[in-house]
Amino acid sequence: MLGLAVAAMVSVPRLAEAPATAAPAVAAPHAEAFCATGGDVHAHDEHGRARVRYGARTAEPGSRVSAGVAEQVERELDRQEITGRLLRSTDDAKWIHIPVHFHVLHNGKKGKVTKKAVLEQIKVLDTAYRGKKGGSSARINFYLKKITWTRNADWFGKPQQYETDFKKKLRKGGDSTLNVYTANLGSELLGWATMPWDYKKEPANDGVIVHYDSLPGGKIKHYSLGYTAVHEVGHWLGLYHTFGRAYPDEDGCSAGDRVGDTPAQKEPTNGCPKKAPDTCPAWGRDSIHNFMDYGYDKCMTEFTKGQVERMRTAWSRYRL
């Protein structure tokens, strides 16, 4: 999850054949129908799923992913690959198409995100997950299903307190539908998300919340290109931070992110360094350009092949 974040039932194919060339930008197969980037790198990141601004000193909402839950998830994902439900030999030709219900919480003029900004955010998501910024393509296409605008000062200004209320009222679709909510997350948090294995137990809580000013064209310095949502959706699809699932209780060198091709990383990246540091004894420099780190938006450009495989395996196991 990202620190400061601007945090729609459909019957659609969850996994569909891709066009001969590229996936559609915003075409729907059928119509109808919780990380902080901080200056204080030791700011408490309870469940490793929230994003914060540089310099933030705040705890993200939610509970940490315990070692027991994490190990159970890994066993389930391992079995998913072994059973062949996600066959890489044939899956390369298929795209995952994800409908997005976008819920704008606002207080009159403040936070009333425009349709244009929402469409730009969907475009940023689609571009990032198709590998158009760099790295590997996840072969995931996001398309807008519906936008809702809800004027409620409490929901908009206190999203952590009222999260259960507005999600119960607004959330649409099933396990394969992405619900994104924008609200005022304050001066530190950027966003948070639920993980795919949480859905079965708490389906009504499923989704992503981002700071309304983190959307493309927003006013948060260094975090207004739309990559808070990209980062949070990465959690929604099953990815941990590159600096580990349990930071700061365990540094990334110890905990890791359970992805083989992302180098071990001790702590979050601050800003956008010209040269990637090497913070762990193991191979490789820190993944400062990875969408699942905490760098500035301008520094984020990629997912790795291993992250793509994990997301697609998690999709098949928990959201298909």
Report the C-alpha gap between 280 and 315 in whole angstroms.
Answer: 30
Q: From CA 192, how far away is CA 235, in angstroms rounded?
A: 9
By residue count, the chain amounts to: 320
| Pair 208, 193: CB distance under 8 Å | yes
- Residues 303 and 284: beta-carbon distance below 8 Å: no
Catalytic residue among 46, 188, 232, 309: 232
Distance between start and end Cα atoms, the chain: 23
26 phi, psi to nearest 5 deg: -140, 30
Integer Cα distance of 255 and 287 in angstroms:
16
Tokens of 281: 């004894």
Are 270 and 39 spatial neighbours (Cβ–Cβ below 8 Å)? yes
Helices 67-83, 305-314: crossing angle, 10 deg rounding = 90
Annotated catalytic residue 74: no
Could you say which DSSP state residue 319 is in? I
Q: Which two tokens stand for residue 127?
A: 């571009």
User: What secondary structure letter does DSSP report for 317?
Assistant: I
Q: Which residue has the tokens 């983190």?
A: 214
* Structure tokens that stand for 49 in this block: 């799923």
Residues labelled catalytic: 232
